[in-house]
Every structure is written in C-alpha cells, then in structure tokens.
Structure 1
Amino acid sequence: MSGSDEELAKDIGPLAALTIGVGTMIGAGIFVLPGPAVAELGPLAALAFVVGGGLALLTALSASELGTAMPVSGGAYYYVNQGLGPLFGSIAGWGNWMGLAFASAFYMYGFGEYVNQFVSISSVTLGPLGFDSAQLIGLVGAGFFIAINYIGAKETGRLQNVIVIVLMGILAVFTLFGLLNADLETLRPIDPFGWAPLLPVTGLIFVSYLGFVQITSVAEEIQEPGKNLPRAVIGSVVIVTVMYALILLAILAAVETSLVANNETAVVDVARLLIGPVGAAALLLGGLLATASSANASILASSRINFAMGRDKLISPKINEIHPRFATPYRAIAITGAFILLFIAFGNLEILATAGSVLHLIVYGLLNIALIVFREAKPAGYDPDFTVPFYPATPILGAVFSFALIAFIEPIVILLSMGFVVFGVVWYLGYARSEIESPGVLADYVLERSEELPNAAVSATTSVQPEGGDYRVMVPLANPAHEKHLITLGSAIAAQHDGTVVAVNIEQVPDQTSLRAARKQKDHEAAAHLLEQARADAETYGVDVETHVVLSHRGIEEVFDAAKRYGVDSCVMGWGPDSHGSPGRVETTVDELARSLPCDFLVFRDRGFDPSRILLPTAGGPDSDLAAAVARALQDLFDADVTLFHVADDRERGRQFLQNWARDRGLEDATCRVETGDVQTRIAEAASDATLLIIGATEKGVLERLARGSLILDVLDEVDCSVLLAEKRHKRTFRERIFGASGDESADEIGITPKPTGRDDSPERPRETSGFDN
C-alpha cells in the first residue's frame, strides 16, 4: 500500500504513550547532567531542573492542544508546517528529524559505553575505519532497535513499557536510600555560587526535556488521542521534573557536593557509597536502560517525522509507503536508521547531539507561534479536545523562553545548528517549493486580509508561497464597463488549470494623501461593488475567487507588485487610454519592471467580447505558446473556432510548420491558414472575419511598450475585433540590464523584426518575417 491516504495502526495505548515521553527524557538528565550542573550552581541545581521542567510545560500545553486537534504523524513538524507554512515546516522537519537522529546515535554510543562496563570488547579496524568498542556495541544496538521499530509500533510500545518501568523502579530504590541517609545540613549553603548561573544552567540541562513532544509524533497511532495524548504529554513532563528534582536533592543531601560536582557518573558512585556494589551495578544497569529507552523512543519519533515530511511532499512521497504486514512506514524507518548508523560510525557525536537540542528549541518556539496562528486564524476543522489555559500568555512565554535558552548554548553549537536551519530553507526553495500545494494557515490568513496589512507582510508571505498549488490568475479591475469581459477571460484560463481568479481593484490615492489616512476613510463602496460583481461573474464559471482592494499612490506600476504579492501565474488586464493610470507616460521605473515580468501577462483591447471566431497568428516564438494556451482554454469553454495564421515566403513549408506547431500545442482541430506578403497587411485582412485576435509579444515586449505609451502596432488599430496580447514571464539577464537588448531598435519599435539576411534551412521552421512572436 502507498499514498498520502494511508493510515497507521492505532497500537499505542495510554501507558505506552506516557513511557515514550518519560523514556526519552529520563536518560541524560539524571545519568549525565547532575555533575556539570552542580559544579556551576551547587544544590541550587535542583531548582534549575524545576525551572527547565516549567518551561517545557509551557510547550507541552501547546503541543497537547495541537495534538488533539490534529492527531497525525509528524508532531511538532506537522503543526509548524500546517500553521506557519512549508518554509518553516522545512526548517522544523529537517531540524526535528536530524536532531532526533543525532540524539539516537548519541544515545546508542552511550549505550555502548555502559555495555562495555559489563563486557569488555576490543576495538576493531575495518579498512580505513577504526571502531572502538562503544561504537561497535552502539552499531549493534542501533540495528536491534531499528529492527524493533520496523516490525511495528505495538512491539515498540511494549518494549518501552518494560524499559521505563524497570528504570523507574531502580531510580525509586536509589532515591529512597538517598532520603534515608539525607542530612539537610549538607545542602547548605544552597547557593554557593549565587543565583546568576541559574538560567545558564537551565539552558544546559534543558536537553533533558526534549522527549515530551515526541509523543505527538506518533499521535496517529495513539488510542483515543483526544484523551490520552494530553495526559501523556503533560504527565511525562511533570513526572520527569519531579523525579529529576527529588533524585538530585536526595543525592546532594546524602553525600558531599564535591562527590557529585563534575562527575558524569555521579549516580553510580553515590549508589556504590550508599548501597554498595549491588547498588552500583543496579545504577549501571539503569544507565544502560536509560540510554536504550531514549534511543528507542527517538528512533520511533524520528521515523514518523520522516514519514510525515514525505506525506507533505517536503521529501519524496515514496517515503509514505506502509508495510503490508506490519503497518509501519518501513521506508521512513529504514532511511532514518541508515542516518543513525552513519552518525555512530563517523566522528564525535557530543557536539552534534547538543546541536540537536538547539534545533529542538527552535522547533518548540515555532510550535508555540503556530498555536497562536491557529487560534487567531480559526481555520475550518480546527477543533481541539484540549485547549491551552491562560491563552495567549502560555504560548507567547513558551516561544520566548524556547528561543532565549538557545543563547546559553555554546556559540559553535549554535552556528552548527543554524547550518541546519539554512539547509531547511535552501531545501524548500530549491526542491520542495515546486512540489508542495498547501501554503499554510498563516499565508491564507495574511492574504485574506491583504488590504488591511502592510504591503511588506503580504509581499513576504507570497514571495515564499509554494508553487505546486493552484494556478492563480490575477485580473486588475478599474472600469466597470470592462469588468465582465476581463473576468470571463481570467475565469476561462483559471478553469483550464483548475485554478483561482484573483480579482484586484487598485485605487490610486493622491500623493498628498497618506495610504493610512485613505485606509481609515474606508470610502471604497464603488470598489467593493465592482469586486462583488467580479466574484459573482467568476463563480458562474465554477472557479474559486479571491478579491482584494489595493490602495496605492501608483497606477500600472502597482499591477506588477500585486502580481508578486499574490503569487499569481498570469495576469489579465485591460488596455486603453484610461486603464491603470494613463500608461502613456514615460516612466523609467515602469519601463524596468516591464522587462522582468513576474508572471504571464495577457493585455486585452476590448471592442466587445466574442470568442466564437479566434485568429491566432504565429511564427513559433515562445509568447505564441501562451497565446495558444489561451486559445485552447477559450475553445474548451466556449466551443470557439480557432484559426492559426502564418506568413511565410514558402507556403508548403509554412503549412508543414503550422501543422506541427498546432499538434504540439493541442490545437489539431484548428484551421491552418498560410499567406505570403506583408505581415501586418495579411493579419489585418485575416482578422476581418475574426471576433478575437490573439497574438504573442514582440521581441521588446508588449508590457514595456504599453507602460511607456509606445505601442505603435498599426495592425492592432486597423482591426475591428478585440485584441488579446500575450507575453510570457521573463527576467532580464545581467548583460541586458547593463547594455540593453540587442537588435534593430528602430525596426523593433514598430513591431517588425528585420528580415534575416541568411536563409533558414530548417525543415520544421521557415524563415520568419513576423515580430509578434519572437
């Protein structure tokens, strides 16, 4: 089975869900970090664990609400992706996935160290690779846990239950011995180094609290997630926080602080002192179980993030495939497992594991922001069974503290982690952007309120919009007399692509009036009526519609910015002496904009809209491809008769070219007509029987000429029918920006390309004499 509609078996019960969080968090916090924390803070280190748990609880509350609203695989990544959009989703996905993979490798390396205390294994050299004993054991252990996850979530949950219950039993007995031997005087002074190091130490030990959100990564497989997920997420944070603080206080009250400070195996040494060799062996076993449970839970969660990224097309959707027998995302698990084994085999993983902690803090901050977006935007279907108390203070504080704690990590680790953030951005822009369809709740929220929000916010949102989504056709509207015809054209093109019409009214505000003042006046009844009529007209063609009012001091220039702002694929605009701010002015800025079109442009000279008989002259240029697509859309929607027209010196060669051109563009049933002679004269004659003339741009470009008021194409004034000029999006090269376009400017200025001096011997394309399509 495969595809985005696959579901994972709900095999994880409430206890297994709780132990996933507890098992991931209980390892490093109590078996590694007490020594460094006590060395910097003394007995006050116990409070640092409490503060860290409190900060983690803020994000745990947000994760619980999002998890009950969207109980699907992916956890924090999925919520960020859906709420803030795929750009941030890419950052969160790669950060969470790689952070967990690094952590899993680090845990298994630690697992190897603990096992090596029981059984001494010699190092091995394989070719250029040398593996020490911990690496060898870690590789074997990682392979075992990867196989367990491959077999199924039920087996994973059962194993996790056993590990965590045994571990908590060992720690409970250890804590009891500590309390029986406790002397409160040993805790004095409680703050030998003052209170200043409290937050830095909290930043150090916060890596102990990276497991609770991983419960949401398997939310799709939890039984009754609306009830069990919040209990597991919040419960795991509370349980671990209490255990950390209580165990550390018991240790510090039972032995001298110097025995704990800077001792990475403090709990084992304290157990040997309080209980004897049996106690030391038990705590050594506890350390082994802690690292194993952390690795097991991290492998489980990281593979689900991988799975969710594949489902959302951030990576190949082939990752989605579910095993027909085990009902697990076996490809996702296999890929994650390969990364873990690779990380164990190469290099020192301590810095990478800490970098994973920074990436988790970034993800936690984004998760809290995503919750705010969901709450404020109120998207359809957002109906959580659990809601965050004290909103919005809880998610705001959760985001602020998550980002702030990063400052207390080593700068080199922060720099390394930022490398993963940059990679997530580059991956989205370079690969995923063209594959993804959904823009996210935040983008929808901003675009729906584009006229109320600053242009910078709208532009920033649309500049990173996914390109795999709906085809968007913008229709700038100014004159009510031409609204219906322009909307009809836009709707036909949108319907051809199953896309959306974006109707925009650009209201030009006098330079003496600020845009803020104009917005406050809210005197836009004419614009509102025009857009409502446009919406009604477009909906008759069965396409989705957006409407926007844009206030601007500019006229036609604003059309270019609006095309970028709303992420459109094509723009259908009117052409006339009063269209879009008197285009007859020579304006350098507009001239520059027109040479780098953000989308395809279709400029309509309205003499009545009748697409029944369409004439499409072509010489095979790129802009005539766009003209052909429009003709095909009108043919499909209105059953139009299309005539393809070509002027050539050789009629037979011209006919062969035109037939091949029509076949390649889905216009096989169009009438093909070939003439010789003067191009403009022949087009004017052919257009006498047409109701709509569609032609491609000249070499210099329709929009550039239109913007400067220099569109002097005699044939366009000679014909009686409506004219539609088509120009594809393009960008000027660096050379063109510096030196300008090459060619005969005087000839190109009137729309005629000079005749070539040599003969074109190509059998598929005759010598061209038309400047309309080049």
Structure 2
Amino acid sequence: MGTAAASADAGELGRHLGVFDAVVIGLGSMIGAGVFAALAPAAGAAGSGLLPGLALAAAVAYSNAASSARLAARYPRSGGTYVYGRERLGDFWGYLAGWGFVVGKTTSCAAMALTVGSYVWPGQAHAVAVAAVVALTAVNYVGVQKSAWLTRAIVAVVLAVLAAVVTACLTCGTAQAARLEPGTGATFGGVLQAAGLLFFAFAGYARIATLGEEVRDPERTIPRAIPLALGITLVVYAAVAVAVLAVLGPDRLAHTAAPLAEAVRAAGAPGLAPVVRAGAAVAATGSLLALVLGVSRTTLAMARDRHLPHALAAVHPRFQVPHRAELAVGAVVAVLAATTDVRGAIGFSSFGVLVYYAIANAAAWTLTPAEGLPVRKVPRMVPRIVPAVGAAGCLVLAFALPAASVLSGAAVIAAGAAAYGLRRALVSRA
C-alpha cells in the first residue's frame, strides 16, 4: 500500500491492465462507435463502393495502429500521440495532436451519450445522455479496473447482438432478402469520403495507447493489444456490412436512421429489432466509457506540461486515476449532451482524429531500428513504408471528408495553434 500511495503522490498511475483488458477496451470503443453509427452515412457517400471504402479505412487504420503500437511501447505514458509528437517532433506538434484529440473526442463523447439517449428514451434523449455521462464518469473515477470489467460485459453483449444480426440477414430466404443491388454508382471520391467517415469507427485503438501508463509490461502488452483489437473489429465490421448490404442494398442502407434494426426487419425477423436497439444503446455506452477514459488521460498529459490547467494533473492517491481530469471531461461532455445535438459530428471527429494520427505516423517515421523495438516483438512494424503510408492516407482521407467537416475541423486546429502561440509569447515575455 505504501508503494501505491507513493506512486500516486508522485503523479503516476497504477499498472493494472493486461493484454485481454487492453484489447477489450479497444473493442468497446471501436465497435460501439462505428457499427451502429457510420455505415449509413458511408453508404450515402460511396453507394456500392461501401466495402472498398471499409477496406481502405482498415488499411489506413492498420498503418496507424502499427505506428502507434511501436511508439506506445517506447513511451508507455498517458497521452498517446500528444507524448509521441512532443518527444519525436517537438512540443508544438505534440500539443497540436493532443488538442485535436481532446476537442474532437470530447464532441464524440457527447455524440455517443446522445446516441444512448435516443435508443433508451427518444423523448428524453438529452436527460438520459447526461445521466449516462454522470454514471460512467463515476465508474471511471473509482479505478480503471472497474472500467475494464464493465467494458468486458458491454463488449460481450454487443458481439452477441451483432452475431444475431449477421445470422438473421445471411440465413433469410431469398424471397425476403434483397439482392446486393448495384445502387448508387461508386466514384473514387465517394469511396475516399466513405473511408474517411468509416475511419471514425476504427479510431478506438487509440484508447489503448492513451492508457500506456496503466498497462502491465507495456513493451509487450501494447504491441499485442492494438493489432488484436483492430483485427477483431475489422472482421466484425466486414461481416455486418456484408450482411446488411445483402438485405437492404446500398441505397436503402444510406437512407435509414437505424440500419441494423431495419435489416433484421427486412430479413423477416422483426422480433430482433428491439434487441438490436438495446444492443445499440449498450454499444454506445461502451464507446462513451472508453472515450471518456481516453480523453481524460490525454488531458492529464497536457495538464502535466501546463498546456491545460495544471490542477488537472492530479492523481487520486487511492484509486490511482486522474480524477480531476475525469471530472472536468465529464462535466464538459454533460453540458454538451444537455444543450446540443452533435449526432452529426462524425465528420468533425474524423478530421481531428486523422490529423492526430498523421502526427503519430510522422513521429514513427523518426524511429530507427537501433532505438526501436526488436522485430520479434513488433512484427512487420519496423519498415518506414508503414508510417509513410499511414501519414499519406490520413491526410488524403481528412481532406476527402465533407467540406463542412474539413472547414470546421481546420478552424479548430487553427484555433489550437493560435492558443499555443499566444501562450508561448506570454511565457517568453514573463
């Protein structure tokens, strides 16, 4: 107990998470955020090119995961790319990554909270959203192990629901199921835009990296957990996308607000629709839990360097969590969930996260084999072609997003850069 207390007093977090828990936290974020939210807008952008868009998003995500895993193992501290950018590229680039992540993902937290509200009690979506934020902030406050246990249960429920959806859609009779119709013709620009939107669904593995200070044996745990979580998520997404497309077709999928519920009804299993709605609420809850967890850790790292109020860098002496950062993030998300409708914020969030990962890949580019990890620990992650492809892919997808998302995202990034410059000027004068 004395050691734990000393660690907490020194501002360090407790290392409690193994590979399984880290994978589950990544799954809880990715599957909850994407499969119920991103398929329909992506189908609207790509039409019959939805599956190529999914494959492209996965390829970029894999490059990012490889770079993030290698960096996280070398710098096993809270903050993710905020830390990597600062250490490898300089203070400004680390700050810019952290700024984009905190602002974009705080908006995503509110979006997920409102998704919970819209499924649980549509008439009182804002009230339910705020209640969900308060409850999950309390869970995070009492320790990351509690969050991991809750995430295990959520992931199990969501995977069971998705398995039921895929089974119902792929085993229904041809008289009930729609053929995979060509639908709206796919264009290259449409596929790129769909990939950018679907990337939102893959971004959850960042939560594993931002928890680098709380995993056991990070040099082994993080490089294993990130690719595992990403691979499992890709298999799940591909199965669900194929099943839903087979029943609805791309045009009908693009114009439905609840594609998975609509798909089971079209497949002749309307009794599954309420189960799917419940699963969507649980999935969004899991995503919200993991998002709040990740944003609070990046907030902690930025507060330690005084890019955010230093009071937020406190670590609870008993629970060994950044309790003030968690409370601050929870309060901001609760206000957003109570006063705004941010369910259309996927594009905005994707832009910020793609900028974040572009910086991660640029940081990974600077690693050399001599200072990196042995190849046996991080297979196929050493060549520089991986971060090069990842950085280029991030920038292409970011600027292929809808114009409103690009403009708003660029404005937020520019505001963060201006704030950084103002702070540096004030410090230099002092």
TM-score (norm 1): 0.51
Question: Partners in 2 of 1:3 and 1:226 — Cα distance?
Answer: 22
Do residues 50 (structure 1) and 44 (structure 2) align? no
Pairwise mapping of residues 140-539 of structure 1 onto structure 2 (< 5 A)?
140-181=131-172, 186-189=179-182, 193-196=185-188, 197-274=190-267, 276-350=269-343, 352-375=345-368, 383=373, 385-386=377-378, 389=381, 391-431=383-423
Matching residue of 1:711: none
**Superposed displacement of residue 72, structure 1:** 0.9
Do residues 103 (structure 1) and 108 (structure 2) align? yes
Question: Partners in 2 of 1:252 and 1:202 — Cα distance?
Answer: 16
**Superposed displacement of residue 3, structure 1:** 8.7
Q: Which is greater in Rg? A: 1
Compared with structure 1, are the counterparts of its residues 348 and 256 closer, same or farther at alpha carbon in structure 2 (3 Å cutoff)? closer
Question: Partners in 1 of 2:318 and 2:39 — Cα distance?
Answer: 44
- Helix, strand or coil for the counterpart of 1:212? helix
Question: Partners in 1 of 2:143 and 2:111 — Cα distance?
Answer: 23
Equivalent of residue 23 in structure 1, options 12, 25, 28: 28
Question: Partners in 2 of 1:93 and 1:218 — Cα distance?
Answer: 14
**Superposed displacement of residue 214, structure 1:** 1.7
Matching residue of 1:83: 88
Question: Partners in 2 of 1:296 and 1:211 — Cα distance?
Answer: 11
- Helix, strand or coil for the counterpart of 1:371? helix
- Helix, strand or coil for the counterpart of 2:368? helix
Question: Residue 400 of structure 1 aligns to which amino acid in structure 2?
Answer: A
Matching residue of 1:483: none
The structure richer in helix per residue is 2
Q: Are 1:18 and 1:235, in contact at CA under 8 Å, matched by a contact in 2?
A: yes
Question: Residue 44 of structure 1 aligns to which amino acid in structure 2?
Answer: G
**Superposed displacement of residue 67, structure 1:** 0.8
Q: CA RMSD in A?
A: 2.6
Question: Residue 156 of structure 2 aligns to which amino acid in structure 1?
Answer: I
Compared with structure 1, are the counterparts of its residues 54 and 262 closer, same or farther at alpha carbon in structure 2 (3 Å cutoff)? same
Question: Partners in 1 of 2:169 and 2:290 — Cα distance?
Answer: 29
- Compare 21-30 and 154-163 and name the one that shifted more: 21-30
**Superposed displacement of residue 387, structure 1:** 6.2
Q: Higher relative CO (CA 8 A, sep ≥ 6), structure 1 or 2?
A: 2
Question: Partners in 2 of 1:76 and 1:206 — Cα distance?
Answer: 17
Gaps of 5+ in 2: 1-5
Residue-by-residue CA offset, 1:366-395 (whole Å, 9 max, x unaligned): 11001112339x77xx65753653611110
**Superposed displacement of residue 40, structure 1:** 4.1
Gaps of 5+ in 1: 122-132, 436-465, 469-774
Equivalent of residue 93 in structure 1, options 98, 113, 134: 98
Matching residue of 1:646: none
Question: Partners in 2 of 1:362 and 1:240 — Cα distance?
Answer: 22
Compared with structure 1, are the counterparts of its residues 187 and 91 closer, same or farther at alpha carbon in structure 2 (3 Å cutoff)? same
Matching residue of 1:66: 71
The structure richer in strand per residue is 1
Q: Are 2:200 and 2:346, in contact at CA under 8 Å, matched by a contact in 1?
A: no
**Superposed displacement of residue 5, structure 1:** 4.2
Residue-by-residue CA offset, 1:135-166 (whole Å, 9 max, x unaligned): 11101110111111111100000001110111
Q: Are 1:73 and 1:305, in contact at CA under 8 Å, matched by a contact in 2?
A: yes
Compared with structure 1, are the counterparts of its residues 76 and 68 closer, same or farther at alpha carbon in structure 2 (3 Å cutoff)? same
Compared with structure 1, are the counterparts of its residues 271 and 403 closer, same or farther at alpha carbon in structure 2 (3 Å cutoff)? same
Question: Partners in 2 of 1:414 and 1:302 — Cα distance?
Answer: 22
Residue-by-residue CA offset, 1:678-737 (whole Å, 9 max, x unaligned): xxxxxxxxxxxxxxxxxxxxxxxxxxxxxxxxxxxxxxxxxxxxxxxxxxxxxxxxxxxx
**Superposed displacement of residue 203, structure 1:** 1.9
Q: Are 1:55 and 1:398, in contact at CA under 8 Å, matched by a contact in 2?
A: yes
**Superposed displacement of residue 74, structure 1:** 0.6
Q: Are 1:95 and 1:359, in contact at CA under 8 Å, matched by a contact in 2?
A: yes
Pairwise mapping of residues 559-708 of structure 1 onto structure 2 (< 5 A)?
none
Compared with structure 1, are the counterparts of its residues 351 and 63 closer, same or farther at alpha carbon in structure 2 (3 Å cutoff)? same
Question: Partners in 2 of 1:168 and 1:374 — Cα distance?
Answer: 37
**Superposed displacement of residue 106, structure 1:** 0.8
- Helix, strand or coil for the counterpart of 1:374? coil
Question: Partners in 2 of 1:3 and 1:287 — Cα distance?
Answer: 37
